[in-house]
Amino acid sequence: MKLLQTTAILLFSAALLTSLGACNRDKDLFVRKEYVRSEVPLTGALNFPPSSSPALGSMDLNYNTGTKLLTYTIRWSGLSGPIATTPIPGMSIHGMAPSGFPANPIQLFTLSSIIRCSTFTNNTCGTYSGRLFVDGVVITEENLLNGVYYVSIRTAAFPNGELRGQIKF
């Protein structure tokens, strides 16, 4: 009889441990793998110092935790002139700085990849798409998801930035 009770307790314990282990595996299935945000605003008011530009823009963001790639599409219109080309290209991702603070560029955009709006000939409107690898050293997933990187667009009239938008999910 005692052997039967001991066997029953052991079997119950083994079943309990197995089910607890299965819960941990189920938890892994629900880890968020992708972050998406559309129409993140770019405005002059977000710059440091704020610009008085009436230009506006937006960006669509997608970050995949598996591939460690941030993909983005940036749209803008109404700039005071063409995007600056000197001393550095006038579009870049900067970090680490929360909204309202400046930071150094960490990725410069290739201005030849800008798609200009077909209805404008003065280069004040366009779209740019690209990718950023979250390497875990210069750009970390934790900082990306905490919103301390931003996109800046500079022109000759606004060398410190005409438009800015925080990369936030």
Distances (CA, A) of 167 to 22, 45, 69, 89: 36, 15, 14, 19
Q: pTM (2 decimals)? A: 0.79
pLDDT in tens, 11-32: 566 665 555 555 555 555 667 7
Burial of 89 (0-12, 13-18, 19+ CB in 10 A): middle
What's phi and psi for 73, nearest 5 deg?
Answer: -130, 125
pLDDT tens profile 59-72 = 999 999 999 999 99
Q: Rounded to an integer, what distance in angstroms lies between the CA atom of residue 154 and that of residue 160?
A: 6
8 Å CB contact between 151 and 92: yes
